[in-house]
């Protein structure tokens, strides 16, 4: 038999001397879960959904890949049921814990971490401030006190997270601007302490989503993915979550930036259905704790609001019947999941 090029290539391939072509590595397909705040009205009116097992099933039935919701401290039997459900249905569970404020609170905090870990969570989301910086603090001194207390809370929380081998993801929750948050992340410098990156919150502090994401992506361990829309109002601007794809954020670019810094494969959608938030950035009180923010930044933020305001009005809840509010909350969440699966995964 004559050795043609074809027979020679076939013989070499059979002998394993020709490398098999390989595809370039692609990041894993994203999976999308639901943050419990997305269904805040359901959780308020349907207490049975506060059971994490029930809430996970509720979200999975709508096409979600998991959920982020708290467990009660040391509720290990329920935690085991969460873990079993996730294993059975291929879901992801992320914990949600309250930061310790003093040493006496550390036992409760660590019990919440243990429950989340027993349920299979590798990450637990938390916040340092439940309110909003410009509404909570009336003076710069009040904010400085909060900053000192926050650092003390983090110094208590980090060793507990390390002991339990679960990452603590502290959300940018309209409290610290991204640069301020990076300062304490660098100061504490721990693999067990990172960020739950919310893509819309820092717009209330006159940061763009791109700025926030660029600064916090290297520390991101969990995500609240949301889209935002704005409207001008006499004291500043209105800010509202809207279904993914109906706002002003470039969600694909934000996700690409996050994943370039950290190999995220699971993202929580947060779509809070409520009246728009008032960002009173043209009032003196707003600036009491933001004295280092420039007038040029304010002008840029207001210009963006004017240029990017959508043609449709922001969604409002006031005056709607309770059942209609529940139906809208569910519809918006489903729209977000559909968009994420079709356009972002």
- CATH homologous superfamily for 27-344? Divalent-metal-dependent TIM barrel enzymes (3.20.20.150)
Q: At what angle do helices 178-188 and 209-216 cross, to 10 degrees?
A: 10
pLDDT tens, 92-111?
999 999 999 999 999 999 99
132-136, 165-169, 280-284, 299-303: which range is least confident on average? 299-303
Q: Alpha carbon of 81 to those of 77, 110, 175: distances in Å? A: 7, 20, 35
In this model, does residue 172 exceed pLDDT 90?
A: yes
Instruction: State percent of the chain over pLDDT 90.
Output: 87
| End-to-end Cα, the chain, rounded Å | 52
Each domain of the chain, given as residue ranges in start order, spans 27-344
Q: What is the mean pLDDT of the chain?
A: 92
For residue 150, the SS3 value is helix
pLDDT of res. 72? 95
Query: CB-based contacts of 103: which residues, under 8 Å, 6+ apart?
Result: 156
Residue 313: what pLDDT?
A: 86
Helix axis angle for 178-188 and 140-164, nearest 10°, is 40
pTM of the model: 0.90
Q: Which tokens is 56 given?
A: 């996970």
Asked if the model's pLDDT at residue 200 lies above 80, the reply is yes
25 pLDDT band, cuts 50/70/90, is low
The mean-pLDDT minimum among 46-55, 81-90, 307-316 falls in: 307-316
């Amino acid at each position: 038999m004559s050795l043609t090029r074809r027979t020679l290539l076939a013989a070499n391939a059979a002998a394993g001397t020709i490398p098999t072509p390989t595809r370039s590595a692609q990041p894993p397909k994203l999976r999308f879960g639901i943050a419990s705040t997305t269904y805040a009205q359901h959780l308020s009116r349907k207490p049975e959904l506060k059971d994490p097992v029930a809430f996970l099933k509720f979200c999975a039935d709508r096409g979600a890949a998991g959920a982020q919701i708290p467990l009660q401290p040391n509720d290990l039997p329920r935690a085991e049921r969460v873990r079993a459900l996730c294993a059975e249905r291929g879901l992801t569970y992320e914990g949600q814990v309250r930061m310790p404020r003093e040493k006496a609170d550390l036992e409760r905090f660590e019990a919440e971490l243990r429950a989340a870990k027993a349920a299979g969570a590798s990450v637990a989301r938390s916040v340092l401030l439940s309110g909003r910086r410009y509404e909570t603090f009336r003076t710069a001194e009040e904010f400085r006190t909060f900053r000192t207390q926050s650092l003390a809370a983090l110094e208590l929380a980090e060793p507990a997270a390390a002991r339990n081998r679960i990452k603590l993801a502290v959300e940018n929750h309209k409290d610290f601007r991204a640069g301020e948050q990076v300062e304490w992340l660098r100061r504490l410098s721990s693999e067990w302490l990172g960020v739950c990156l919310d893509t819309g919150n820092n717009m209330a502090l006159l940061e763009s989503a791109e700025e926030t994401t660029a600064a916090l992506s290297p520390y991101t361990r969990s995500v609240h993915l949301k889209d935002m829309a704005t409207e001008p109002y006499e004291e500043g601007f209105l800010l509202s979550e809207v279904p993914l794809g109906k706002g002003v954020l470039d969600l694909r670019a934000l996700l690409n930036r996050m994943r370039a810094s950290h190999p995220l494969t699971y993202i929580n959608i947060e779509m809070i259905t409520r009246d728009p938030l008032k960002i009173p950035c043209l009032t003196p009180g707003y600036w009491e704790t933001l004295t280092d923010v420039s007038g040029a930044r304010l002008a840029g933020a207001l210009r963006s609001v004017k240029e990017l305001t959508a043609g449709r009005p922001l969604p409002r809840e006031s005056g709607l019947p309770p059942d209609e509010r529940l139906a809208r909350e569910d519809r918006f969440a489903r729209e977000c999941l559909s968009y994420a699966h079709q356009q972002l995964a």
